[in-house]
Structure 1
Amino acid sequence: MKRRDFIKNTSLTGLGFAVGNTLVNCDEDITEAQKTQNHKAIRDLYGIPLVVATWHVENATAKAMAVLHAGGSALDAVEQGCRVEEANAKGQTVGKGGLPDRDGNVTLDASIMDKDGNCGSVVYLQNITHAVSVARKVMEDTPHVMLAGEGAKQFALSKGFKPENLLTEASKIAWEQWKVKAQYKPIINIENHDTIGMLAIDKNGDISGACTTSGLAYKMGGRVGDSPIIGSGLFIDNDIGGCVATGLGEEVVKTVGSFLVVELMRQGKTPQQACEEAIHRIVNKPNSNYKNFQVGYVAVNKKGETGCYAIHQYFSITKYQADKNEQIQSEFYNRT
């Protein structure tokens, strides 16, 4: 049904309609119950609330949606959703059980951003499973945006986070096997999913996002990717939409990818068009080596429309919208 027909045919009493998260009413006599009904009708039209995330993470999106259905904010939803994967030791790319750097250290990067543009991140965090929650504490409890390394760890401990060894036996064995040849060469999609980036829109129409990762397996000690860098791995503009990135972080950083996607949506592009243009910016750079690495974007706009695109095949997203929690294979650039 077209939006115009929907408004004409449904009981939007008093000509009430939603713009962003504001209910506008032309009739001063409209009751609170009618306002609530109108607001719900608009949310239903746009499929809100919703959650969308990188890769195959139905448990994470289900947790986030449960938070939204319980009346939680988009910020609460993305934090709780990402924590599911951080605690999943079998994933080997996020939180506990993440594959280590070449020295055997599991180091985590994470960021979070709310509807008001507030943000927090941690880089090179060790021995703390829930990096995304530490990032939220940085945002809410400090005057800073980013804390790194030992400083981030000490801050986490001061906030009650418990230290633990994040290197599981499975990840240790994989690292010891890698050391036999000790070759560092990222392989496209080899880890199935290397980051979880998540976006949510709550019942008020507000958008938040989060991103968390253990980074590239067997990276150089101290390496930081795009995930904790606001504008690269994650960006939110509550008037427009949000975006998260996954893949080779160095290439995302070079184009400030997530900020670019949101700005393209501001210019009028759909989330799908914006993701495609952002990938084209990477592959069309002079001397681009794009055939040897993967980057993927997922975006959502204020209407609840989503889009995703990647350089290579097999990037997927998980979307929970209109009571359906499903994995969707992304379209991709490289067809050769």
Structure 2
Amino acid sequence: MKRRKFIQNASLSTLGIAVGTSVFASGMKTSISEEKNLKNETSGFPMVIATWNVNDSTAEAWRVLKEGGTSIDAIEKGCMIEEANAEGQSVGLGGLPDRDGNVTLDACIMNKEGDYGAVVYLQNIMHPISVARKVMEDTPHVILAGKGAEQFAYSEGFKKVDLLTEKSKKAWEAWKKTSQYKPIINIENHDTIGMLAIDENGDISGGCTTSGLAYKMAGRVGDSPIIGSGLFIDNEIGGATATGLGEEVLKTVGSFLIVELMRQGKTPQQACEEAIGRIIKKTPNFKDFQVGYIAVNKKGETGYYAIHDGFWVTKYQNDKNENFASDFYDKK
């Protein structure tokens, strides 16, 4: 399964923040953990987990961790691998453009102290995850956008790069012939690389990087760079990150919700399932889009869950770099 096989709703509606009542409390049948008594038997650290089949990225993050590096260093280096992968068409170089033909990037990073940095609508820079880290560490701000983010990157020594590859340009030109926006579940269109890591000291960091929704309206920003939605880390509890239709993740503040559920005693798997359940409960047309979550707790236990089939994760733990198909809600 290719990691890009993810899709989203046809409408780009106004974004809102609204956390709903738990579907589990309402009696809706969703908890796979409860039905099948599934347990994540693997724990321990160092470890790294990421959305999609990104073995090269997790291998680089693992290398940093095994050499005694910090979790924040592992996140940056791991995400950079995928950002430089022109074949991926969803992160960094070669990302599919917006409707005007511009490749625009969103990314965020969060460390063990709860510090956070993000860039939104960034153009002409290959490694937005690194710029986001610079925002976090070298400025008094947490988010820089558009031309301001781009100018900041240049001031920090980043080079201007034409991100629109010939492959992505041809795909965009083919799309323009109809300019139809009728997404179908698990047809290549859009996805995000989210990564969580725990170093040998037990400290957790996370990152999220994407070129966003293919052929989106100019200026659109999804959940990936927004803390609490695309990513959230609490070093006392754990971390979570999301992929899929950002509009729906934003409306339920999904990653923050998962960490808070783990704080209440749920396993990472149970927390991911409930976060998906919140979306299903509040959105009758959930069959039209996809969302997936991954999570890790302080013990190094992980969880992952999606609305539909087709979501994969990569985990490097106990010297094994493995891909796993995620369980999902909509069994049809």
Q: 1:93 to 1:191 in 2, by over 3 A?
A: same
- Who is 1:281 aligned against? 278
Q: 1:166 aligns with which of 148, 152, 163?
A: 163
Contact 2:190 / 2:213 at 8 angstroms: preserved in 1? no
TM-score for both structures, normalised by structure 2: 0.86
Alignment of 1:89-128 (within 5 A): 89-128=86-125
Question: Which runs of structure 1 show a deviation greater than 4 angstroms over 4 or more consecutive aligned residues?
Answer: none
Question: Matches of 1:187 and 1:145 in 2, distance apart?
Answer: 35
Structure 1, 123-132 or 190-199: larger mean CA deviation: 190-199
Structure-2 change in CA distance of 1:247 and 1:68 (3 Å): same
Deviation (angstroms), 1:87: 0.0
Matched, 1:303 2:260: no
Matched ranges for 1:194-233 at <5 A: 194-233=191-230
Give the corresponding residue for 1:290: 286
Give the unaligned 5+ runs of structure 1. 1-44
Question: Which of structures 1 and 2 has the larger relative contact order (alpha carbons within 8 angstroms, sep 6+)?
Answer: 2
Report 1:17-56 matches (<5 A): 46-56=43-53
Query: Per-residue displacement from partner, 1:129-174 (whole Å, max 9, x unpaired)?
Result: 1000000000000000000000000000000000010000000000
Amino acid in the other structure paired with 2:143 = M
Percent identical residues: 74
Q: Show the counterpart of 1:175.
A: 172
Partner in structure 1 of residue 324 of structure 2: 328
1:189 Cα shift?
Answer: 2.8
The structure that has the greater radius of gyration is 1
Q: Does 1:247 align with 2:256?
A: no
RMSD: 1.0
Aligned residue type for 1:212: T
- Alpha-carbon separation, structure 2, partners of 1:125 and 1:138: 13
Distance 2:316 2:189 in 1: 20
Structure with the bigger percentage of helix: 1
1: CA distance between counterparts of 2:201 and 2:242? 25
Q: Which residue of 2 aligns with 1:259?
A: 256
Q: How far apart are the structure 1 equivalents of 2:181 and 2:76?
A: 32
Q: Is the 8 A contact 1:243 1:297 kept in 2?
A: yes
SS at match of 2:207: strand
Q: Any conservation in 1 of the 2:44–2:300 contact (CA below 8 Å)?
A: yes
Structure 2 gaps, min length 5: 1-41
Does the aligned pair in 1 maintain the 2:190–2:212 contact within 8 Å?
A: no
Aligned partner of 1:317 in structure 2 is 313
Output aligned runs, 1:73-92, within 5 Å.
73-92=70-89
C-alpha displacement of 1:188: 2.3
Alpha-carbon distance between aligned partners in 2 of 1:299 and 1:154, rounded to the nearest angstrom: 34
The alignment partner of 2:59 has SS state of: helix
Give, as a single letter, the amino acid of the residue that structure 1 aligns with 2:302. T
2:228 and 2:254 in contact (8 A); partners too: yes
CA–CA distance in structure 2, aligned partners of residues 202 and 169 of structure 1: 38
1:46 Cα offset (Å):
3.9
* Residue type of the alignment partner of 1:162: K
Q: Per the alignment, in what secondary structure is the counterpart of residue 85 of structure 1?
A: helix
Query: Contact 1:55–1:193 (CA<8 Å) still a contact in 2?
Result: no
Shift of 1:194: 1.1
